[in-house]
Chain A
Amino acid sequence: MLEEPSEPGWLSEEVTTGTTIIAIEFDGGVVLGSDSRVSAGETVVNRVMNKLSLLHDKIYCALSGSAADAQTIAEMVNYQLDVHSIEVGEDPQVRSAASLVKNISYKYKEELSAHLIVAGWDKRGGGQVYVTLNGLLSRQPFAVGGSGSAYVYGFVDAEYRKAMSKEDCQQFVVNTLSLAMSRDGSSGGVAYLVTIDEKGAEEKCILGNELPTFYDQ
């Protein structure tokens, strides 16, 4: 059982953000959250990666799955959104950003294995959260994704209430991330939070020892 591997895992294993990501809308904006662990097989290759990627001023996406695929999709959509917003002369809608992500995910569905949750604020629809798993596009009040999400489905189902305030949403996201990170081997590190509303996007980082603890911790 204790064999020495011939070479370290990270030389040959694919780099994935086996992860926990979550996004939730409130009246007037959205909160996105993620952990910070990037693994290649059993090795953690980056313990402080920010998986909340900017697509536009008030639109962010949360990355999960293959790190390379997810980052590439985010960069491509960032570029396409910049062009689009210059063409229409105003800030893009969140739905447009989600559609662009969905188009890439669907067209290259066989080659890519990444799941992005797109969330943001626009003046037409307020705060919105979209899931783009496997090329579908669906708007939801909140969404969780990544390997760690399986462990917290019960928690989010039980705890989510409609019409939560911004602070309640932030606490909900932090609690969920903390629970998932403590159970999922591929999630961990620090928690990143982004709160987006009419005024802009505010990024926050919560260190591991400042996360809420639960029964057995």
Chain B
Amino acid sequence: MERRFMDSQIKGVSTGTTILAVTFNGGVIIGSDSRASIGGYYVSSKTINKLIQVHDRIFCCIAGSLADAQAVTKAAKFQISFHSIQMESPPLVKAAASVLRELCYNNKEELQAGFITAGWDRKKGPQVYTVALGGMLLSQPFTIGGSGSTYIYGYADAKYKPDMSKEECLQFATNALALAMGRDNVSGGVAHLVVITEEGVEHVVIPGDKLPKFHDE
């Protein structure tokens, strides 16, 4: 299989990974795999959680260097809770994404991490933002990221529909993660999914053997 080398040369532990976030009618689902690897040949953790809660209804997921991502999300979490106290109201998802973007853009030489921020707020409802490696911020109805996302661009383009129900969206996200984990050697483990709606936050963990299987498995 000829594969263009998609990962950058990340030193140390990296989350060669598959992450995604999808809006549906009334909420948003953010999901990831659970594998952390060193150099693509050693799995340093099979059960890492890449979905970080930065506020009550805002999560972000990380791809790239694990150390960079943890440092950035720690700083972002602090800044967002401070901002929320100052404004005396829950932060907007866009505000959380902006905080991450500022950190990524101002430190773009040293950092090697990309983020997807997803959540629900009173102003605009469910939203998904991606912050790319150099610090670009983009709002999309759904987005995929990480090394495993290459393999599911076709699937996601074909299968995404706007205004899905929660069950349809869960199925879409689970299938996409399972397909990517099946083809990308640095994605794997269990599938972590978080469903965020106005009412609250629900974690779903799907172990490897309960993931949907496709034709050749």
Q: Which residues of A contact B (CB under 8 A)?
A: 64-65, 115, 133, 145-147, 149-162, 175-176, 179-180, 182-183, 214-216
Contacts and interface: CB of A to CB of B under 8 A. Distances in A.
Q: Is the interface of B mostly helix, strand, loop or mixed?
A: helix
A109 B161 CA distance: 44
B2 A154 contact: no
Nearest to B215: A160
Given A155-B158, A179-B158, A215-B160, A150 B179 contact: no
Contacts of B155: 152, 154-155, 157-158
Interface of B: 1-4, 6, 150-162, 175-176, 179-180, 182-183, 214-216
Contact of A154 (B1, B6, B183): B183
Nearest to A113: B2
B177 to A, nearest CB: 10
B180 A154 contact: yes
B179 A157 contact: yes
A65 B4 CA distance: 12
B152 A154 contact: yes
25 contacts: A133-B2, A145-B2, A150-B150, A151-B151, A153-B152, A153-B183, A154-B179, A154-B180, A155-B152, A155-B154, A156-B154, A157-B215, A158-B159, A158-B214, A159-B158, A160-B214, A162-B215, A175-B158, A179-B153, A179-B154, A183-B157, A214-B157, A215-B157, A215-B160, A216-B157
A188 to B, nearest CB: 15
B65 to A, nearest CB: 23
Given A150-B4, A155-B158, A215-B161, 10 more contacts: A64-B2, A133-B2, A147-B2, A150-B3, A153-B152, A157-B179, A157-B216, A162-B215, A179-B154, A179-B157
B172 to A, nearest CB: 11
Contacts of A154: 151-156, 176, 179-180, 183
A155 B151 CA distance: 8
Contacts of A65: 2
Contacts of B1: 133, 149
A176 B158 CA distance: 9
Nearest to A18: B4
Contacts of B215: 157, 160-162
Given A157-B216, A215-B161, A180 B154 contact: yes
Nearest to B151: A153
Contact of A158 (B3, B162, B175): B175
A119 B54 CA distance: 52
A214 B158 contact: yes
Contacts of A215: 157-158, 160-162
A152 B176 CA distance: 12
Nearest to A156: B154
B150 A158 contact: no
Contacts of A182: 157
